[in-house]
Homo-oligomer: A and B are copies of this chain.
Amino acid sequence: MKALEELVGLLTRLPGIGRKSALRVAYHLLKTDQAYAEALAERIRGLKSAIRFCSVCGSYAESDPCPVCASPARDRSTICVVEQPQDVVTIEGAHEYRGLYHVLGGLISPLDGVGPEQLRVDALVARLRGGEVREVVIATNPTVEGDTTALYLKRLLEPTGAQVTRLATGIPVGGDLEYADRLTLARSFRGRVRL
Contact = CB atoms under 8 A, between A and B. Distances in A.
Interface of A: 1-4, 6-7, 10-11, 13-17, 21, 23-30, 34, 36-48, 50-51, 60-62, 84-86, 89
A39 to B, nearest CB: 6
List the number of copies, as a whole number.
2
A42 B43 contact: no
A161 B40 CA distance: 49
Contacts of A6: 43
Nearest to A27: B86
A28 B15 contact: yes
A31 to B, nearest CB: 9
Contacts of A3: 43, 46-47, 50-51, 62
